[in-house]
Amino acid sequence: MARRIYIFDTTLRDGEQSPGVSLNAGEKLQIARQLAKLGVDVIEAGFPITSPGDFEAVQLIAREVRGVTVAALARANYADIDRAWEAVREAEQPRIHTFIATSPIHMAHKLRMTPDQVLEAAVAAVKRAKSYVSDVEFSCEDASRSELDFLCRVVEAAIAAGATVINIPDTVGYAVPEEFARLIREIRRRVKGIEKVVLSVHCHDDLGLAVANSLAAVLAGADQVEGAINGIGERAGNAALEEVIMALHTRRDQFNCVTNIKTEEIYRTSRLVSSLTGMPVQPNKAVVGKNAFAHESGIHQDGVLKERTTYEIMNPVMVGISQSTLVLGKHSGRHAFRQRLEELGYQLTDEELNKAFARFKALADKKKEITDADLEAIVEDELRPVPSTYTLEYLHISTGTTVVPTATVGLRRGEEVLEEAACGNGPVDAICRAIDKITGVPCVLKSWGVSAVTGGKDAIGEVTLKIAENGGKTYLGRGFSTDILEASAKAYLNAVNRLLWEKGKEKQ
């Protein structure tokens, strides 16, 4: 039978210790609610003694969030433990998590305590926490650099004092998977009473091994994994919980373990944590990065379109991403190109597709990512080249923070040059109004976007926009220039010319 692994989330405590991150109580509550939805077993809501703000956040989460254990952290002293209890006491399932360092380096230099004093403090802390609540977690900070005999003595004493969860942290991310697994096996083998408690691990990512060490520990007999969403946390961060969860899930053949996690909530949780902490998720981040389910190479895109599992070991839907994306760029092939055009509503003949594909490849050499608007423009240009009824002769703009934006526009129509001026809410609005006065076709600007086609300060800007006449059909326009206002005028004219041409055809 599959073993149950408990997921302990410390995004709001260790995760919030990420340099530069500070969440207020309301933001923490929002994340805690989402973590409960995700189905984590324990939310470590904070370290109440450290600040009134942390106390308030833990108390709020304890009062408001149901169906999950809420833990509060405390050093191994009475003042910390009393404050932790005060903050967490109203939780449906409260837990006090107390810790003390057991490595020679921490005991000698940080705590300035002898091993016997540490052992005594650990026992006293667990007993104090136990006087408040039955669920008590005890951690040996820097366990992976502790002497095994002493570590086992402290763990055994903490269990005898009433600890129900024993946590073995790799506090400084020093361990490697084989070694960490051996440590967990040794603790399981040597410590009296270990079978009565939940054995937990808490790994940091200083060598990029936090997830690997956590998984090795699970194989060696750990019951609980601690970590943070998006892997945030002190220094290089904690084990990324979404990676641990999806590894256990995807490789159940190896781990034979289950969690209580609703994996479909993973992506939403990751986005929420990223936006509230202000810590962006790197694009190539496993499971939740922007590129985690994006395929650019033609060979890969062709494979995924034929059978998703050729290049995807997880279904993006399973982590809450609606579908994999085929990023159209210079490595993309005809298969993905046709597929995207079909999604955009274009059915091309083979000949039309060949022509459009050649244009696409030429553009992809200049631009890293090709957008849907680029594709529409390519197809419209290739299949429905628009005669230029109006062309831009000149453009003069007056704008700034203290003047009303005004545009004077000269348009050529055959032999004539027609001029008009207009004011607007901004320079682009003024340009569009001046053009409308000349063409007599009042349009609504539905969308406007600019991107750089080339790099550097003198980059060519490309404006892509859509207009609609009286809320009716939309028409696409594109314009290029090193000046984005000129590019806007050209794009608007391109769309107006398309509108006039299609209207003219309708009348024939």
The amino acid present at 234, given as its one-letter code, is: E
- Among 81-89, 119-127, 163-171, 467-475, which window interacts with ligand KIV (CB under 6 A)? 163-171
Nearer to ligand KIV, 203 or 397 (CB): 203
CA dist 212 and 204 (Å) reads 11
CA dist 443 → 65, 255, 467 (Å): 51, 61, 6
Nearer to ligand KIV, 14 or 302 (CB): 14
Nearer to Zn ion, 14 or 16 (CB): 14
173 binds ligand KIV (CB under 6 A): no
Judged by CB under 6 A, the residue of 8, 55, 85, 99 near ligand KIV is 99
- Among 154-162, 164-172, 302-310, 391-399, which window interacts with ligand KIV (CB under 6 A)? 164-172
Judged by CB under 6 A, the residue of 169, 227, 231, 479 near ligand KIV is 169
Helix (H, G, I), strand (E, B) or coil at 342: helix
141 binds ligand KIV (CB under 6 A): yes
The amino acid present at 254, given as its one-letter code, is: Q
Min CB(141)–ligand KIV separation in Å:
4
Nearer to Zn ion, 69 or 238 (CB): 238
Q: Per DSSP, which regions of 92-185 are E strands? A: 93-101, 136-141, 165-170
Nearer to ligand KIV, 74 or 292 (CB): 74
The amino acid present at 15, given as its one-letter code, is: G
Min CB(85)–ligand KIV separation in Å:
17
Judged by CB under 6 A, the residue of 5, 9, 12, 14 near ligand KIV is 14
**What's the DSSP call for residue 111?**
I
14 binds Zn ion (CB under 5 A): yes
- Which of 456, 7, 429, 426 is CA-nearest to residue 228? 7
Judged by CB under 6 A, the residue of 18, 69, 171, 389 near ligand KIV is 171
In degrees and rounded to multiples of 5, residue 152 shows phi and psi of -65, -35
498 binds, among ligand KIV, Zn ion, none (CB under 5 to 8 A by kind): none
CA dist 61 and 87 (Å) reads 9
141 binds, among Zn ion, ligand KIV, none (CB under 5 to 8 A by kind): ligand KIV
Min CB(164)–ligand KIV separation in Å:
16
CA dist 489 and 161 (Å) reads 77
15 binds ligand KIV (CB under 6 A): no
Judged by CB under 6 A, the residue of 69, 139, 301, 332 near ligand KIV is 139
102 binds, among ligand KIV, Zn ion, none (CB under 5 to 8 A by kind): none
The sign of the CA dihedral 500, 501, 504, 505 is: negative
374 Cβ contact list (under 8 Å, min separation 6): 363, 367, 464
In the region spanning residues 224 to 243, those forming contacts with ligand KIV, defined by CB under 6 A, are none
Q: Per DSSP, which regions of 39-182 are E strands? A: 42-46, 69-75, 93-101, 136-141, 165-170
Nearer to Zn ion, 228 or 261 (CB): 228
Min CB(298)–ligand KIV separation in Å:
45
Nearer to ligand KIV, 167 or 332 (CB): 167
Residue pair 336/305 in contact (Cβ under 8 Å)? The answer is yes
Q: How many of the chain's residues bind Zn ion (CB under 5 A)?
A: 1
Dihedral (C-alpha) 147, 148, 150, 155: value to the nearest 10 degrees? 130
Nearer to ligand KIV, 203 or 484 (CB): 203
> Residue 461, Cβ neighbours under 10 Å: how many?
19
Nearer to ligand KIV, 141 or 242 (CB): 141
DSSP 3-state percent helix, strand, coil across the chain (nearest 5): 45, 20, 30
* Structural Rg of the chain based on CA atoms: 31
Quote the distance between the C-alpha of residue 205 and its chain's center: 18
- Which of 149, 215, 142 is CA-nearest to residue 173? 142
156 binds ligand KIV (CB under 6 A): no
Residue pair 143/168 in contact (Cβ under 8 Å)? The answer is yes
Encoding tokens for residue 8? 């302990």
202 binds ligand KIV (CB under 6 A): yes
- Among 123-131, 166-174, 345-353, 438-446, which window interacts with ligand KIV (CB under 6 A)? 166-174
137 binds ligand KIV (CB under 6 A): no
**For binding to Zn ion (CB under 5 A), which residues are involved?**
14
What is the binding site for ligand KIV (CB under 6 A)?
14, 99, 139, 141, 167, 169, 171, 202, 204
